Amino acid sequence: MNIVLVGNANVGKSVIFNALTKSYVTVSNYPGTTVDISKGIARINTEDYTICDTPGINSLIIHSEDEKVTRDILSKSDIACVIQVADSKNLKRSLVLTLELLELGLPLVLDLNMSDEAKERGINIDLKKLSQKLGIEIVETVAVTGEGISKLKDAIPKAKNTQPLKGLSAAGTDEIISLRKKNQIIEELLRDVLRISKPKAKSASEFIGSLTVKPISGIPILIAALFVMYLFVGRLAAVRGVDFFEHTLFGVYINPFLNSFIEKFIPVPFVKEFLMGEYGLISMAVTYAFAIIFPIVTAFFLFFGILEDSGYLPRLSVLSDRVFRVIGLNGRAILPMVLGLGCGTMATLTSRILETKKERILVSIILTLAIPCSAQLGVIMAMLSEFSFKAFLLWFSTILLVIIVIGFLASRLVPGRRSPFIQELPPMRFPQIGNIIVKTAARLKWYLKEAVPLFVLGTFVLFVSEKIGLLGLIERALSPLIVAWLHLPKETTAAFIIGFLRRDYGAAGLYQLARIGALDKIQIFVSLIVITLFVPCIAQFFVTVKERGLKVALIIAGFVFLFAFFAGGLIDHLLRYLILVKGIAVL
Ligand SMILES: Nc1nc2c(ncn2[C@@H]2O[C@H](COP(=O)(O)OP(=O)(O)OP(=O)(O)O)[C@@H](O)[C@H]2O)c(=O)[nH]1
Ligand SMILES: [Mg+2]
């Protein structure tokens, strides 16, 4: 039998799910974290149940795709109990959904979560009275500390099938009358059960929150956040961390040991090259994955987790709404894009939280074209940190410009409409260290599982191509593009080839070339622009096919490929002119 967790967005459903099932699904402080159903098993009173975590909804009437998922699961037949998780701070919004759930007639438990924050704000809810009026079990929880979870478990077997509230049936089927009636009922309920004892004072977190959304203070805060990320991921992890992993751990211990091991036991030249050669399984795939990319993504995921849990991201949507309006989107679109910095594949799924098809296509285009994924971003920052933060900002502005120009043009071409922007702002919170660590570990595990096999495959492809002379052929064939147009050395071709499999792997290849001094400043910058704009990795391409259809995915990928090389060459010529002819130190 199933127990389904439903509720408005960002109320703590996923934390409750994790507490009940002892498994982990992502928890973040913004609406729309969960976009698909997650299932887990929980033992409640000696019985095993399947618990379903669902995307947040405001109503059972569907607006966006992620809401449909929830609606669908509620119409299944084997539901033992529905738990509505609610934000105690916002009882009114929760009750709109409760009234709709009552009409389903299923056993229902109302979980008033975040009661810690409600109490802080002096909000008191008379549970007994509310429970009587609605005819359902009600418990209070603080999901993040586990308070009340055992009461919630006790309430599940007690839940009985619900009935629609009286008075509501009288409204019949007229939607507007029924809406008015519902509001009236909710107002009455609130008058009976809700007591607010403290006058509303502005807290420090509210003050900081309000600074982040005003352009005058918000833009400097954004730049400061980027700077901290650049220092932490670019300088600390990517330069120091990679140095340690590559030179000390792999350079001094692991690789020499493996070398002598192979020398001793399998002294066959072919095997030696296969494992430790230029395109060797260990010297390339394993070293790139663990020595270069692992420290970078770890730092990135840590930083990102803190950002997510602080509640900054929804505020960034408010700040950026004006820019997004130019490109046919609204501020909500910042979420999939920022998530795309973690992984474009996941972010493409998150574009479900957008309301119209047009918006989802536009976001898919931008995700494919201009959003680098975590490891790639880290490598980019590391390479640019050889110059200055200025170079990083120049890269950032170039990409932003591409997003705005292409977004603007695409929004004229793709038919459809833009939806109005409504963003609820969750409170700014101090991130929970425990959640950040668990989340980072879960992401790292997923990352390794996802990336390493493709790294191995990519290396194998390069190894074979090199052996049969295909690589040289491709290098020569692409030389008008890579050498003549982009002014890059032909060795970068291999990096772009593996970039097809995973962009971060391609970026790591460029990083290696830069570190051995094979690229000058302009070449570094240009190759980074190209690899950023470059085709999506295979996984992201397939998710785009799944979500948007093959035709749209192919058009996007084809366009992006041409555009990346075109823009790279343009920037190369511009930089050469500015730096070499005019002598301006742009980088
Ligand atoms: N203070 C406090 N914070 C909570 C509580 N429950 C959840 N949170 C925080 O609220 C945020 C949202 O939690 P999630 O579990 O991701 O919310 P959700 O309902 O699954 O959200 P969506 O998947 O977006 O619909 C996270 O930052 C949690 O740490 C609580 O009882 N008290
Ligand atoms: Mg969730």
DSSP letter for 236, please.
I
Predicted local distance difference test score (pLDDT) of residue 167: 66
> Which residues are paired to 43 by β-bridges?
48
Q: Max CA-CA distance within the chain?
A: 87
Does the structure show a pLDDT above 60 at 209? yes
Token pair listed for 557: 């990928």
Is residue 168 very low, low, confident or very high in pLDDT (cuts 50, 70, 90)? low
Token pair listed for 553: 């995915």
Does the structure show a pLDDT above 80 at 178? no
Predicted local distance difference test score (pLDDT) of residue 127: 94
Token pair listed for 176: 């507007």
Residue 461 in contact with residue 284, Cβ under 8 Å?
no
Residue 278 in contact with residue 284, Cβ under 8 Å?
yes
Map residue 256 onto helix, strand or coil.
helix
Per-domain boundaries in the chain: 2-196, 215-422+432-581
Closest CA to 456 of 274, 261, 262: 274
Instruction: Tell me the mean pLDDT in the region 204-208.
Output: 88
Does the structure show a pLDDT above 70 at 173? no
Report how far ligand 1's centroid is from the alpha carbon of 92 (Å). Answer: 18
360-400 pLDDT, tens digit per residue, is 999 999 999 999 988 888 888 888 887 888 888 899 999 99
Predicted local distance difference test score (pLDDT) of residue 288: 85
Better pLDDT: 191 or 234:
191
In this structure, of 54-58, 266-270, 408-412, 511-515, the range with the lowest mean pLDDT score is 266-270
Residue nearest to atom 2 of ligand 1 (CA): 114
Burial (CB count <10 Å: 0-12, 13-18, 19+), residue 261? exposed
Predicted local distance difference test score (pLDDT) of residue 254: 87
Predicted local distance difference test score (pLDDT) of residue 214: 93
The closest-lying atom of ligand 1 relative to the alpha carbon of residue 56 is 25
Closest CA to 230 of 388, 340, 416: 388
Report how far ligand 2's centroid is from the alpha carbon of 31 (Å). Answer: 8
Residues with CB under 6 A from ligand 1: 7, 9-15, 27-29, 31-34, 55-56, 113-114, 116-117, 142-144, 309, 432, 435
Percentage above 90 pLDDT, the chain: 52
Give start and end residues of each alpha helix (H) in 327-388. Answer: 334-340, 344-350, 357-370, 374-384
Predicted local distance difference test score (pLDDT) of residue 179: 79
Report how far ligand 2's centroid is from the alpha carbon of 280 (Å). Answer: 42
Report how far ligand 2's centroid is from the alpha carbon of 323 (Å). Answer: 28
Q: CA–CA separation, 57 vs 74, rounded Å?
A: 12
Average pLDDT taken over every residue of the chain: 89
The closest-lying atom of ligand 1 relative to the alpha carbon of residue 17 is 15
Q: CA–CA separation, 514 vs 520, rounded Å?
A: 8
DSSP letter for 235, please.
I
Instruction: Tell me the mean pLDDT in the region 72-100.
Output: 92
The closest-lying atom of ligand 1 relative to the alpha carbon of residue 85 is 19
Is residue 348 very low, low, confident or very high in pLDDT (cuts 50, 70, 90)? confident
Ligand nearest to C-alpha 15: 1
Does the structure show a pLDDT above 60 at 170? no
430-483 pLDDT, tens digit per residue, is 999 999 999 999 989 988 888 889 889 989 999 999 999 999 999 999 999 999
Ligand nearest to C-alpha 113: 1
Residue 196 in contact with residue 122, Cβ under 8 Å?
yes
Does the structure show a pLDDT above 70 at 323? yes
399-429 pLDDT, tens digit per residue, is 999 999 999 999 999 998 888 887 778 999 9
The closest-lying atom of ligand 1 relative to the alpha carbon of residue 30 is 24
Closest CA to 381 of 238, 220, 521: 238
Does the structure show a pLDDT above 90 at 586? no
Closest CA to 235 of 398, 378, 391: 378
Predicted local distance difference test score (pLDDT) of residue 169: 58
Map residue 118 onto helix, strand or coil.
helix
Ligand nearest to C-alpha 11: 1
Ligand nearest to C-alpha 10: 1
Token pair listed for 373: 């994924």
Q: Transcribe 498-559 into DSSP letters.
A: HHHH-HHHHHHHHHHHHHTT-S-HHHHHHHHHHHHHS---HHHHHHHHHHH-HHHHHHHHHH
Q: Pick from 24-28, 169-173, 198-202, 366-370 the range whose average pLDDT is largest.
A: 366-370
The closest-lying atom of ligand 1 relative to the alpha carbon of residue 9 is 25
Residue 341 in contact with residue 371, Cβ under 8 Å?
yes
CA angle 144–341–13, rounded 5-degree value: 25
Report how far ligand 2's centroid is from the alpha carbon of 61 (Å). Answer: 19
- Per CATH, is 2-196 categorized as 3.40.225.10? no
Residue 585 in contact with residue 579, Cβ under 8 Å?
yes
Is residue 109 very low, low, confident or very high in pLDDT (cuts 50, 70, 90)? very high
Predicted local distance difference test score (pLDDT) of residue 9: 92
Predicted local distance difference test score (pLDDT) of residue 12: 96
pTM, two decimal places: 0.86
The β-bridge relationship of strands 38-44 and 47-53 is antiparallel
